[in-house]
Structure 1
Amino acid sequence: MRAVPTRVYFVVLWLLLAAAAIRTEAAAGDVVLVVANARHPWSTRVAEQYLAARGLPASQLLTIDVSPDATVTHEVYQQAIERPVMVWLRTHDALDRTHIIVLGPGLPLRIAGTPGRNGTAGSVDSELAVLYRRLTGASVAAGGFVENPYFSPVPLVTPRPFDRAKYDVYLVTRLDGRTETDALALIARGAVRPSKFVLAIDGRPAGASGPEARWLTEVGPRVHAVQPDARILSDASSDLLGNIDGVTGYASWGSNDSRTRVPPVTFGSGAIASSFMSSDARTMAQPPAAWTPGLWSEPSSYFAGSPEALAADWLAAGLTGLAAQVTEPYLDGTVRPATLHEAWARGYTLAESFYLAMPYLSWQGVVFGDPLARAVETGPEGHEVLTDPAAGQGAFTDRMAAVYRRGEPDLDQEASRLMARANLSIARGDLADARRLLEELTVRAPRYTRAQFLLAQQYEADKFYAQARARYELVLQTQPANVVALNNLAYNLGVHGGEPKAALVHAERAAVLAGNSAAVLDTLGWLRHLAGDSRGAVVPLQRAVELAPDLCDAWSHLALAQRSAGDEPAATKADARASSCTKDVKEP
């Protein structure tokens, strides 16, 4: 049996002792979702250690399956990361009660895309932060950034604990490191609070600075207003601020000034940091031992596409929390150090502190650290934070309902809430509840065709075909060119209602409106065959399988029509394709 390294043993022991000593946030298990990657060798172990350290239930762990590459495409992000998180939130009735998403080791950092202020590249973490808003149906642009509703550039004189009723985003942080030991140490450090506040603020000369010079000078006064005994060491010269022990707060331009891999200070308990670097979270990979950060004008100094220092090195130097970027955020997109350190000194959680200081979401930022860590025992002005998952319950339904009401004069507040609740029931798989809500809604708002259509689909799923036909007919009274309603009504009437000739009227119209839709052509061809016109059925059915070779039913329908039309060789070939077909293309 391979011996356990001594260092790993002590880190795990530290975690267990810390878990017993710290006061876990009340009901934190209801507000935190932890995500691990099944393809990473120690992602799940680290996630489970975090659950144990914070006393969170195992039910709050979601394990997904995604390549542990640093960068993924939008398609991989949506299918392998965003979708399983979305499904978990819906099926666990956790859309509102979840405030925080914690990403374990091995989760991709960056989503590939176009560069620039309106580009589509961004961090996985920051994109997940706006998932709540997307799920309500609110518009979120594919390119550029989204203004963070929780951001505060000004002093936090009024308490602003994260409140689901006010903020339609998630706070996303990451527990990671180059090794399992590093990731476990990051968790352990989240359980230890600083005994004093020592801040190192390393600026630049006025001639080499922009608005960030003011942002850095604001740190001292705002922290002193909360912690009068805090020691603030600031420098605005070209010299490097260093040789300081026990630093609990650090802000600088990072390797843009120093060409060093880590700040030349020693971090103490509860230390958090940020910089104005633009790509320090680009990778967690280990560079060559001799590598040092350089300049953008020196390609020979690049590692993983950038000459800047690496977040993984800063974390390994002993930080509890760190704000970093996967690619260029532009200066206005960086974390505001004064808000960050004031919030931390006031007792906000690590997640709250960093997100209060982060101006943009759906952008480039990554926050490393235990989201529930705190620098002081109580919340701001004694206000406990993240302790009441029941607060704000129903906010998601209200927000989704508001989206449904836009442009719908026939939809009042209660009707829109019924629609939102019905959609949530469908997402959870509770179709009986969805049908009940939709029936109530269509009585209250009979002209709301979206609900009539959804109810028709629910009736079809329950094999209540006559009721489904009646609802499709109501939809067509208001939207006579609704292709999906025409197609579904035609198939229902012809196949389940036994009236293929009457159904052809709807199928023919759908085919004219839809053009080259394989599903619509399949319905038209099949109804022609059922009505006795097998020769006339062959043409649309052949076109359907040309457009969608994996539309299995269309191959079966084509074989039957060809056989009835007397073309046995063609029917035999279509039968063979139907037998080997494994999936259906679902399209209108």
Structure 2
Amino acid sequence: MRAIFILLVLGGWGRLPADDLAARVVILANSRQPESVRLAGFYAEKRAVPAANILALPLPETEDITWREFIDQVWQPLQDELFRRGWIEGTSSSLLDRLGRRRYAFSGNRISYLVVCRGVPLRIHNDPTLLPDQPERKIPGELNKNEAAVDSELSLLAHNTYEITAMVPNPLFANERPPTLEAELVVKVSRLDGPTWESARRLVTSALEAERTGLLGRYYADLKGPHPEGDQWLAATAKQLQELGFDGDTESTGATFDAAARFDAPVLYFGWYAGSLNGPFAREGFAFPPGAVALHIHSFSAPTLRSDSIGWGGPLVAHGVAATVGNVFEPYLGYTHRPNFLLRALSQGKNFGDAVYYALPALSWQAVAIGDPLYRPFKVPLEEQGASPYAVLRRANLLLAKAEKPAALALLRAEQRERPSLAVGLALAKHAAADAEAAAVASALGVAALLKDIRPQDWPLLREAAALLAANGARPAALQVYANLARAPAPTPEAMKAMLTEACRTADAAGDLQRSLDFARQLNELTPPAAK
């Protein structure tokens, strides 16, 4: 009878509302670091998690630990406390396995998500002395190791004894069926961590803001990497983004996005393959919009979360991302998060904590999820997102996908009349240029020449606007935009030189000798003597 009761309870958990999920969140903090405990309290307050659900344990204070430290100071104290409090159910014994872990027979898991706070160790180093002497267990050489992400091991807290060499298949991966008891025993872990305590707190506040306003911004997808399989995942991701109506850009040359590329409001980013954050992300002052979700596939994308320059995980958090995933050691491509699965789950309304496990093939391996597991990026329907230019662009793109171009253009024109913006103006101008409507291009981009105080994220858009104006006969307006750009900081010196070259060409075509000389003088000042 008890087993039947457990199965009935577990089977209904996936349908629980958010407040019930919050009531079953367990938060792990390091009691040796007061800020870790304060972060746990901050999250509990913001998400209405009962304070009694905070477990503050004396844990190692380094990001990297040994297996002995992990089992003795993290795994066993945490597992015993979860069992004592009734969060995981089963039968205990005094027996230990070969690694010193207590033998349990588990039958239930009441935890919706385990939130790991900054201060809890991140990764466990390989220990060859713990590799099993089992010749009959054929493990490929590259997988015959036990280095792992702490969080990935904690996913198996409610499982009976498992082998730590290589990985354990994730029963939640790409699972559309009702969850089995095995799947329900997976503890879904996500981490609030980053280079600073403030950046860790911002993971929460950014998610909450996006749940109020909706996911507002553009997508950017970097499609070309070193392996065809990953390219296919990212191509599928880009297709999903377009089907969702998001405005955006793709990079398919094999490089990452250029540092001078358009990169306004990157609320959704998926790409590969670079060792550390680069391109537009590295621009001075770059910041993600609220609720941004970003994934960059790389073998060691999260070797530390305390640095704002190493890998991708820490730097993305430092720049304000709300949710991301990474790998602490080499996972090999087939065992890392699938970006297309992650986006599919999120766009269906799932929260981050569920989506990352839907997208992840392996546990007891290298993956780490960074962000609020309760975060639902698509909580606010598009029709309720108000008058943001990016929401309007998304609505227009969905109309275009249904071959309703007149309605889409009418929507964009109305938005541009009432609330002029560069994003909508550029979209309108591109449609007008494609239809050979030069006057409409100038009308759509009238706002461009009026912008004198240029924000860094607007510089690439204004350069594109100037080129469109020049190509469609509106050279005086284009020259005014170029003049404004020449007085503003460019994303890179190369971008400034290229823009000034375009400006000189436009001034010459317009017969504006003075402007041509001004642009040429500035370009000459930027060119090293040896290159002249």
| TM-score, normalised by the number of residues in structure 2 | 0.57
Name the SS of the counterpart of 1:62 in structure 2: strand
Q: Are 1:73 and 2:66 matched, yes or no?
A: yes
Name the SS of the counterpart of 1:255 in structure 2: coil
Q: Are 1:216 and 2:242 matched, yes or no?
A: no
Aligned-partner Cα distance in 1 for 2:44–2:187: 19
- Among 360, 371, 374, the alignment partner of 1:372 is 374
CA offset digits 1:42-69 (Å, max 9, x no partner): 1000100000000111110001111210
**Do the aligned partners of 1:38 and 1:65 also contact (CA within 8 Å) in 2?**
yes
- Among 190, 200, 203, the alignment partner of 2:220 is 200
Name the SS of the counterpart of 1:270 in structure 2: coil
Q: Are 1:235 and 2:251 matched, yes or no?
A: yes
Q: Are 1:103 and 2:116 matched, yes or no?
A: yes
Give how far 1:322 is off.
0.8
- The 5 A counterparts of 1:151-162 are 151-152=173-174
Name the SS of the counterpart of 2:292 in structure 1: strand
Q: Are 1:273 and 2:266 matched, yes or no?
A: no
Aligned-partner Cα distance in 1 for 2:148–2:110: 26
Counterpart AA for 2:193: D
CA 1:48–1:163: 2 relative to 1, 3 Å: farther
CA offset digits 1:239-293 (Å, max 9, x no partner): 4324311122211125348755946675222211112212232223347xxxx6x
Q: Are 1:355 and 2:357 matched, yes or no?
A: yes
Name the SS of the counterpart of 1:312 in structure 2: helix
Counterpart AA for 1:131: L
Counterpart AA for 1:204: K
- The 5 A counterparts of 1:240-251 are 240-241=256-257, 242-251=261-270
CA 1:161–1:257: 2 relative to 1, 3 Å: farther
- Among 129, 141, 144, the alignment partner of 2:155 is 129
Aligned-partner Cα distance in 1 for 2:193–2:348: 26
**Do the aligned partners of 2:275 and 2:301 also contact (CA within 8 Å) in 1?**
no
Aligned-partner Cα distance in 2 for 1:334–1:266: 26
Give how far 1:192 is off.
2.3
CA offset digits 1:327-354 (Å, max 9, x no partner): 1001111111111112112211111111
Aligned-partner Cα distance in 1 for 2:35–2:202: 14
Q: Are 1:119 and 2:145 matched, yes or no?
A: yes
CA offset digits 1:280-310 (Å, max 9, x no partner): 32223347xxxx6xxxxxxxxxxxxxxx624
Aligned-partner Cα distance in 2 for 1:235–1:349: 28
Choose 195-204 or 50-59, whichever is displaced more: 195-204
Counterpart AA for 1:348: K
Aligned-partner Cα distance in 2 for 1:177–1:266: 15
**Do the aligned partners of 1:254 and 1:309 also contact (CA within 8 Å) in 2?**
no
Give how far 1:223 is off.
4.0
**Do the aligned partners of 1:126 and 1:366 also contact (CA within 8 Å) in 2?**
yes
Structure 1 residue aligned with 2:163? 141
Aligned-partner Cα distance in 2 for 1:75–1:65: 15
Aligned-partner Cα distance in 2 for 1:283–1:377: 31
- The 5 A counterparts of 1:332-351 are 332-351=334-353
- Among 215, 238, 252, the alignment partner of 2:271 is 252
Q: Are 1:184 and 2:201 matched, yes or no?
A: yes
Q: Are 1:285 and 2:306 matched, yes or no?
A: yes
Aligned-partner Cα distance in 2 for 1:83–1:263: 41
Give how far 1:312 is off.
1.3
- The 5 A counterparts of 1:565-576 are none
Aligned-partner Cα distance in 1 for 2:314–2:187: 24
Aligned-partner Cα distance in 1 for 2:39–2:276: 34
Structure 1 residue aligned with 2:315? 313
Aligned-partner Cα distance in 1 for 2:172–2:229: 21
Name the SS of the counterpart of 1:190 in structure 2: helix
Give how far 1:24 is off.
8.3
Give how far 1:173 is off.
0.5
Counterpart AA for 2:153: E
**Do the aligned partners of 1:243 and 1:266 also contact (CA within 8 Å) in 2?**
no
Aligned-partner Cα distance in 2 for 1:146–1:261: 37
Aligned-partner Cα distance in 2 for 1:378–1:170: 27
Aligned-partner Cα distance in 1 for 2:74–2:221: 37
Structure 2 residue aligned with 1:328? 330
Aligned-partner Cα distance in 2 for 1:114–1:170: 24
Give how far 1:197 is off.
5.7
Aligned-partner Cα distance in 1 for 2:312–2:267: 19
| TM-score, normalised by the number of residues in structure 1 | 0.52
- What are the ranges of 5 or more consecutive residues in structure 2 without an aligned counterpart? 1-15, 89-108, 129-141, 382-532
State the identity %.
Answer: 26
Aligned-partner Cα distance in 2 for 1:189–1:163: 33
- What are the ranges of 5 or more consecutive residues in structure 1 without an aligned counterpart? 1-22, 293-307, 380-588
Counterpart AA for 1:209: H
Name the SS of the counterpart of 1:249 in structure 2: strand
Aligned-partner Cα distance in 2 for 1:240–1:177: 23
**Do the aligned partners of 1:70 and 1:282 also contact (CA within 8 Å) in 2?**
no
